[in-house]
């Protein structure tokens, strides 16, 4: 690969000398530069990639610099310089991009990038300084290209489409290599400052307001549900609330509150009260004439008036709309008003409610958990709170959730079940009439997936908690018993400890039992066979609870799985072993068996005492050659004689007593 192949030679001798020296230095000290393709802006005569000038403060200036200063509103000229310094090459699809910063700052940095399809990118920055925080905005349509302009942009140039401030930038096409093909791309940005809004000064005058609400009085003494519009029956009483306030920063003078009752509503004498910070005061008919004088109403103060009114007994229509207006006035021409609406209607309104009583426990069924077998009596209470008669009314109740947990045992008032719905005969409900229908249900044993709640709604929802059964904790308990018998001596009974001589066959029996009340999972068994005995091949049998017999010899090497054991189930193991001849007389053989199931563990031992000879029990008749003991002989003397006889017989010597 050649270095700096055909660098542009159109500069004077001075630049050529500089290039020559730079080339020597590059060959000596710098890494190799690939000059087979185009390279941008790398010669001493090249200008900075990006510079700027304040076009507002210095119109037409060619004093391009970095940084550049400006104020809000100034237009900044941005100039990007390019030069392909390798003669004989073309930078294909050359592009220029300048990314503008975001936000408002006193020091903004623009990032320029110049690259081509076959040339490495170069980057540079331009800093714009301002005395106040500004943002940088591109001026649309301001991008102009000055091709083949080596020193400064001049002439009209070529207008380029907007896009230089995007990452893709704008395309300059192919740029030939040499000084005469150098050029510029210029565009403008504007510095903008967003002024801090001036806060609105607070009001310096009173500001009175009033709100009007209405509520039924049937809710109870001094219990209200304030609304803007309600519906009542003829001759029904309502309460009105006039809430007024001064949200200004100055007192309101000569304040008067007045109410305008419409025809069809009459004030209830003695029901009016003014509630103010300095005390309460009665309000009478003056409220509806000249109004109640409040006088001076302080800034930030609020107060309210409550009074009752009754609708006329006879409504001229099915539903009469009555608008009640409240007005507040103050000096200086201040005035405000608000309305509340009462619709006086002949209507029918059915009110439903439900309760439940635990007959078994004699208590409100929602207060205590119900037990299995408890009898619950439900009451379906239906009331006509309207002022007309409801004809052919049907009481129905969906018992879907109840029937998941209980069984209906009795239905009162001639009711009947239709699927999951209990239905009662039709009835006419007059104004104020109340009917109470009942049925009873018995709590059933709960399914495993039960939520232990009986829900039912008739107007209100009744939820009865069902007592959860106490969980029965079932735990397994493993026991193991190991026994032994000497089959060579025809022993028929398994015992914890016996005796044998070398060469005899002994048989072991293991019984593993689950004595707990829960299943033992993954029961394992192992037998620790001592070296003093040898397993008799083919003698092992393991009988499982289902009667299956298995013969795993791995029992003596590792734990073997015998499956799960339910309560009271057992596994029996039988195997035989031969007493080794090397074992010394008087030794005790200890055989250990271990069973486990998770954290459960049990073990058991069986023992065999090794004797030198078989134990011979003397016959009850007189031994030939041995005189019978006289009554004068002692037991010790008799034992001594027997021991002597046995010793002589073992030695093969004849014995002739001499008494």
Query: What's the mean per-residue pLDDT of the chain?
Result: 86
Higher pLDDT, 314 or 252: 252
Q: Which pLDDT score, from 0 to 100, does residue 58 have?
A: 87
Q: Which pLDDT score, from 0 to 100, does residue 7 have?
A: 59
Rounded Cα–Cα distance for residues 610 and 589 (Å): 7
Q: How confident is the model at residue 199 (pLDDT cuts 50, 70, 90)?
A: confident
Q: Which are the contacts of 601, defined by CB distance < 8 A and separation ≥ 6?
A: 478, 594, 595
Q: Enumerate the β-bridge partners of residue 48.
A: none
Rounded Cα–Cα distance for residues 278 and 266 (Å): 29
Spacing of C-alpha 439 from chain mean position: 43
**pLDDT tens by residue, 41-76:** 989 989 999 999 998 888 887 889 999 999 999 999
CA distances from 143 to 1, 110, 310, 320 (A): 39, 16, 80, 74
Say yes or no to pLDDT of 23 above 60.
Answer: no
- The upper half-sphere exposure of residue 90, i.e. CA atoms within 13 Å in the direction of its Cβ, equals 5
b/e 515-540 (16+ beta carbons within 10 angstroms → b)? ebeebbeebbbbbebeebbebeeebb
Say yes or no to pLDDT of 227 above 50.
Answer: yes
For the beta carbon of residue 575, count every other beta carbon within 10 angstroms.
Answer: 22
Query: SS in 3 state form for 203-223?
Result: CCCCCEEEEEEEEECCCCCCC
Higher pLDDT, 316 or 97: 97
Q: Which pLDDT score, from 0 to 100, does residue 316 have?
A: 64
Q: How confident is the model at residue 315 (pLDDT cuts 50, 70, 90)?
A: low
Q: Which are the contacts of 240, defined by CB distance < 8 A and separation ≥ 6?
A: 212, 213, 214, 259, 306, 307, 308, 309, 324, 326, 340
Lowest mean pLDDT among 383-392, 455-464, 611-620: 611-620
Say yes or no to pLDDT of 645 above 80.
Answer: no
Task: Give yes or no for a contact between 433 and 393, defined as CB atoms under 8 angstroms apart.
Answer: no
Say yes or no to pLDDT of 25 above 50.
Answer: no
**pLDDT tens by residue, 523-556:** 999 999 898 899 998 899 999 999 999 988 788 8
Spacing of C-alpha 61 from chain mean position: 65
Q: Which are the contacts of 184, defined by CB distance < 8 A and separation ≥ 6?
A: 79, 80, 81, 82, 145, 146, 149, 152, 153
From the options 2.40.50.100, 2.60.40.740, 3.40.50.720, 1.10.287.130, give the CATH code of 478-610: 2.60.40.740
Task: Give yes or no for a contact between 455 and 444, defined as CB atoms under 8 angstroms apart.
Answer: no
Say yes or no to pLDDT of 200 above 50.
Answer: yes
Say yes or no to pLDDT of 410 above 50.
Answer: yes
- Which CATH number does 350-465 carry? 2.60.40.740
**Phi, psi torsion values for 289, nearest 5 degrees:** -105, -95
Say yes or no to pLDDT of 210 above 80.
Answer: yes
**pLDDT tens by residue, 276-285:** 999 999 999 9
Q: Enumerate the β-bridge partners of residue 185.
A: 80, 145
Q: Which are the contacts of 292, defined by CB distance < 8 A and separation ≥ 6?
A: 256, 257, 258, 274, 283, 286, 305
Q: Which pLDDT score, from 0 to 100, does residue 643 have?
A: 57
**Residue matched to tokens 């954290």:** 599
**pLDDT tens by residue, 288-312:** 999 999 999 999 999 999 999 999 9
Q: Which pLDDT score, from 0 to 100, does residue 34 have?
A: 47
Residue 202 DSSP label: P
Say yes or no to pLDDT of 629 above 50.
Answer: no
Tell me which residue of 504, 510, 507, 515 sits closest to 527, measured CA to CA.
510
- Which CATH number does 208-345 carry? 2.60.40.740
Q: Which pLDDT score, from 0 to 100, does residue 8 have?
A: 63
The token duo for 163 is 């896009």
Rounded Cα–Cα distance for residues 393 and 457 (Å): 18
Spacing of C-alpha 392 from chain mean position: 51
Q: How confident is the model at residue 498 (pLDDT cuts 50, 70, 90)?
A: very high
> What's the sign of the alpha-carbon dihedral 487, 493, 495, 498?
negative
Percent of residues, the chain, with pLDDT higher than 90: 69
**What predicted TM-score, i.e. pTM, was given to this entire model?**
0.34
Q: Which pLDDT score, from 0 to 100, does residue 192 have?
A: 94
Tell me which residue of 480, 477, 527, 479 sits closest to 507, measured CA to CA.
527
Task: Give yes or no for a contact between 212 and 326, defined as CB atoms under 8 angstroms apart.
Answer: yes
Stretch(es) of the chain classified as CATH 2.60.40.740: 208-345, 350-465, 478-610
Higher pLDDT, 609 or 202: 609
The token duo for 371 is 């037990």
């Amino acid at each position: 690969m050649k270095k700096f192949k055909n660098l542009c030679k159109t500069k004077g001798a001075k630049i050529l000398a500089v290039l020559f020296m730079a080339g020597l230095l590059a060959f000596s000290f710098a890494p190799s530069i690939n000059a087979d393709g185009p390279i941008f802006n790398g010669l001493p005569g090249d200008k900075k990639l990006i510079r700027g000038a304040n076009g507002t403060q210095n119109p037409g200036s060619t004093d391009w610099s970095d940084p550049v200063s400006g104020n809000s509103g100034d237009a900044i000229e941005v100039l990007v310089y390019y030069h392909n310094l390798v003669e004989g090459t073309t930078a294909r699809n050359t592009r220029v991009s300048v990314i503008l910063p975001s936000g408002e700052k006193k020091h903004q940095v623009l990032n320029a990038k110049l690259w081509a399809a076959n040339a490495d990118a170069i980057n540079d920055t331009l800093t714009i300084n301002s005395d106040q925080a500004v943002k940088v905005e591109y001026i649309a349509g301001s991008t102009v290209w000055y091709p083949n302009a080596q020193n400064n942009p001049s002439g009209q140039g070529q207008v380029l489409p907007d896009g230089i401030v995007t990452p893709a930038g704008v395309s300059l096409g192919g740029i030939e290599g040499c000084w005469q093909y150098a050029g510029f791309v210029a565009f403008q940005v504007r510095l903008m400052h967003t002024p801090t809004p001036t806060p609105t000064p607070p009001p310096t005058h009173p500001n009175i307001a009033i709100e009007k609400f209405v509520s039924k009085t049937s809710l109870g003494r001094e219990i209200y549900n304030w609304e803007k519009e309600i519906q009542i029956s003829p001759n029904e009483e309502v309460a009105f609330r006039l809430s007024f306030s001064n949200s200004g920063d100055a007192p309101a003078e000569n304040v008067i509150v007045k109410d305008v009752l419409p025809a069809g509503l009459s004030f209830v004498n003695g029901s009016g009260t003014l509630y103010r910070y300095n005390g309460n005061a009665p309000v009478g008919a003056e409220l509806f004439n000249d109004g109640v004088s409040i006088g001076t109403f302080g800034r930030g103060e609020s107060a309210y008036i409550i009074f009752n009114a009754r609708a006329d007994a006879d409504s001229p229509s099915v539903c009469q709309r009555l608008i009640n207006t409240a007005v507040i006035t103050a000096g200086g021409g201040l005035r405000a008003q608000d309305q509340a609406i009462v619709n006086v209607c002949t209507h029918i309104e059915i009110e439903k409610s439900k309760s439940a009583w635990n007959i078994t426990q004699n208590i409100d069924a929602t207060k205590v958990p119900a037990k299995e077998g408890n009898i619950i009596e439900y009451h379906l209470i239906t009331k006509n709170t309207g002022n007309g008669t409801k004809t052919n009314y049907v009481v129905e109740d969906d018992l879907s959730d109840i029937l998941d947990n209980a069984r209906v045992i009795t239905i009162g008032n001639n009711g009947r079940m239709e699927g999951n719905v209990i239905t009662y005969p039709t009835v006419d409900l007059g104004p104020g009439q109340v009917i109470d229908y009942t049925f009873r249900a018995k709590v059933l044993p709960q399914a495993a997936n039960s939520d232990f709640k009986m829900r039912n709604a008739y107007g209100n929802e009744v939820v009865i908690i069902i007592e959860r059964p106490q969980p029965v904790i079932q735990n397994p308990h493993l026991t193991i018993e190991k026994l032994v018998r000497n089959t060579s001596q025809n022993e028929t009974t398994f015992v914890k400890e016996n005796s044998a001589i070398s060469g005899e066959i002994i048989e072991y029996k293991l019984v593993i039992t689950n004595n707990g009340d829960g299943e033992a999972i993954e029961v394992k068994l192992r037998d620790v066979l001592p070296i003093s005995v040898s397993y008799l091949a083919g003698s092992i049998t393991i009988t499982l609870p289902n009667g299956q017999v298995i013969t795993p010899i791995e029992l003596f090497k590792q734990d073997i799985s015998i499956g799960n054991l339910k309560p009271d189930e057992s596994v029996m193991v039988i195997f035989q072993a031969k007493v080794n001849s090397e074992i010394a007389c008087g030794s005790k053989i200890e055989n250990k068996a271990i069973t486990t199931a998770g954290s459960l563990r049990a073990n058991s031992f069986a023992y065999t005492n090794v004797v030198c000879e078989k134990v011979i029990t003397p016959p009850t008749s007189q031994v030939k050659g041995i005189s019978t003991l006289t009554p004068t002989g002692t037991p010790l003397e008799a034992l001594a004689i027997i021991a002597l006889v046995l010793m002589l017989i073992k030695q093969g010597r004849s014995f002739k007593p001499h008494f």
